[in-house]
Structure 1
């Protein structure tokens, strides 16, 4: 039996527009409208999950989905940097930001390292492989990155080299202990071509 996991990144929010570490805010009006325009475009799923963040829960709702928040799918915990912009943190702690962006095991903010996030998401992927049917999850961009790193057994130093735009779908399929990544999914109704 092949397991299928569709990871949908959240719609645009004020935090994303300003490169602000998640501050708990929700979608902006443009992001909510873009998500509503995609409602009904995603395939049916046996399970619909979400990162516990407000913007992921709001994105799921705007897509017409009843996503169950899953703690293992939470975004990267950036500790004391939460709510600040990357520019602010870079000006105040340039060496710490430099280490954080180059060393996946480093967590100078007092939160979670990229390596820890990748491990947490890899454990979730191992568990989700068992149930039958498709799993659809609206998750933070860093969770998508971590899932791709884990599924393809990539070095975690590649984490920051994976771009995850808002409202995009990343599909993983697997069986017998191996995942495949599906690229090039055509735009759904309402998406720009």
Structure 2
């Protein structure tokens, strides 16, 4: 039995453009339009899921997916840093930010560590491996990173070395307890990170 999972990162919104830890804001007009233009390129899936954030829900809708929210695929819980920009946090708490970026077990913001995110998402991936067919999920960029780390058996420290531009589709196939990674593509016919977009 082969399981196929496609993870799609959300389209552009102000938080992504400003390198701001998700604050619940919606897609911007350009991001929504780009997601709608990419909808025709998606094949039907047996299961459609979404991270429970506004930008992921709106991206899924723009792509024409009737997706249900999956709590296990929520983005990284950022605690008291939520809604702040990376620059603001770096200016106010440079040592805490440096520790968080260097140590997967650190959570100086009072939220979730990268290690805990990888464990949570890894548990979901194990459950997904028990299902045949194809799953498409619109998820936060850090969820794509966490799944990639798990599938490749990479150290958690590699988490920040994985770039996930808006509307990137990463494919994963699982069979007999082993997962493989399909090279990521950017939906909508463009590649790379749009100007002004963070690689967070």
Per the normalisation by structure 1, the TM-score is 0.96
CA shift, 1:175, in A, is: 0.7
CA RMSD of aligned residues (A): 1.1
Q: 1:50-129 counterparts in 2 under 5 A? A: 50-129=50-129
User: For 1:1-193, what aligned pairs fall within 5 Å after superposition?
Assistant: 1-183=1-183, 185=185, 190-192=188-190
For the 8 Å contact 2:170–2:184, the answer to whether it is kept is: no
Structure 1 residues without counterparts, runs of 5 or longer: none
1:40 deviates by: 2.2
Aligned length in residues: 191
Which consecutive aligned stretches of 4+ in structure 1 deviate over 2 angstroms post-superposition? none
Q: Quote the Cα distance in structure 1 between the aligned partners of 2:128 and 2:42.
A: 19
Unaligned runs of 5+ in 2: 192-200
| Distance (Å, rounded) in 1 between the aligned partners of 2:26 and 2:74 | 15
Partner of 2:40, secondary structure, is coil
Q: Deviations over 1:50-78 (max 9, x none)?
A: 00000000000000111100000000001
CA contact (8 A) 2:26 2:58 kept: yes
Cα deviation for residue 89 of structure 1 reads 0.4
